[in-house]
Amino acid sequence: MTKKQKHTKVDGKTPSRPKKPNSDDLIMVGIGSSAGGLDALQHVLPNLQVKDDVAYVVVQHLSPTHRSLLTSLLEKHTPMPVQKITEGMRIEPGNLYVAPPDKDVVLSGNRLELHKPSSIGPSPSIDSFFTSLASEKGGQAVGIILSGSGSDGAHGIRAIKSDDGITLAQSPDSASFDSMPRAAINTGLVDLVAPPEEIGEELEIALQYPGKIASNKTIEPDDEIPVILGMLHQRTGVFSGAWWSTR
């Protein structure tokens, strides 16, 4: 899919309630995937910005008995330090954290806790992590759903969006398994849809939208243009994110 063919949806709704306060300025990006997710991650990671106010957490479904090589595989595709999550691990900006296959991950303050997964549903649970991410980070939470089977992550997308965070999904036609991104998109609460190699660029643009992440950002006249275009695209399908990607 070319950049011209890409379809990008932008949520132009005004938040219905104030953003939740946060203990620090760290933006946390949760990335959920399942079947076909490794290929998608290998295309997403090289284009993610390494920044001093952003940390990333990858939650991918794996069999509890499977010896995961995910951490070492992902290290090859990003300059960021990649760490397998251990109990109580402190989140540091500019790092990428990978969930172990046999535990659910929950964000508590600025630390990651490991919980015994439910006997029902996939493990680790994307919904569980995204829900805790929304609760702890509010408007500084970002949720990304990549290729996978099932609907894990859709509930978490709702939680993140209800607390004014940003939500993204891989375009279904670029996914090896499209049911997870489709389930997320079908909530009607996904801000941006893009193929994996363009998600990093789209995320960087989204983080610059006034009021989306940092409450201390001021609105400049030029900043209103992409927001207005996004609202028009959402309602008419006329405009594409490619327009303001080149601004």
Provide the annotated active-site residues.
34, 61, 152
Q: Which residues contact 113 (CB under 8 A, 6 or more apart)?
A: 87, 88, 105, 106, 107
11 sits in the region (left: phi over 0; alpha: psi -120 to 50; else beta) called beta
The secondary structure of residue 79, as a DSSP letter, is S
Peptide bond into 117 cis (omega under 30): no
- The span from the CA of 115 to the CA of 218, in Å, is 39
C-alpha distances (whole Å) from 222 to each of 3, 210, 214, 218, 225 are 23, 11, 18, 11, 6
Angle formed at CA 68 by CA 169 and CA 54, multiple of 5 degrees: 45
- Based on C-alpha coordinates, what's the Rg of the chain? 17
Helix crossing, 37-44 with 196-207: angle to 10°?
A: 50
Q: Which residues contact 246 (CB under 8 A, 6 or more apart)?
A: none
